[in-house]
Amino acid sequence: MENVIKYVTGFFGGLSAVLLAVLPVTILWTILTGGAVFGMDVVANLSGLITSLGEGGFVGLIVLILLTSFFVKK
């Protein structure tokens, strides 16, 4: 069972690393070409996320802290 947990944790860790590496490329692509990547407007989605967290007040701040805690390596 411990091996399964390590395998799943490693898989999702690798997947998040790949997605975090692709994110700056998609932002750059959107800025340079003005087109969407894979049918998604990454810049608009990030702007909407930041806006919704800002409008959330204290709850938005707590969510932001929780999200950053997932991506900060310890």
**Cβ(73)–Cβ(17) under 8 Å?**
no
Cα separation, 19 vs 74, in Å, equals 19
Residue 74 pLDDT > 80 = no
- Element (DSSP H or E) covering residue 68: helix 58-71
Give helix 42-55 / helix 58-71 axis angle, nearest 10°. 130
Domains of the chain, by residue range, sit at 2-71
Tens-place pLDDT, residues 24-43: 888 888 888 877 777 788 88
Question: What pLDDT shows up at residue 11?
Answer: 92
DSSP3 helix / strand / coil % (the chain, rounded to 5): 80, 5, 15
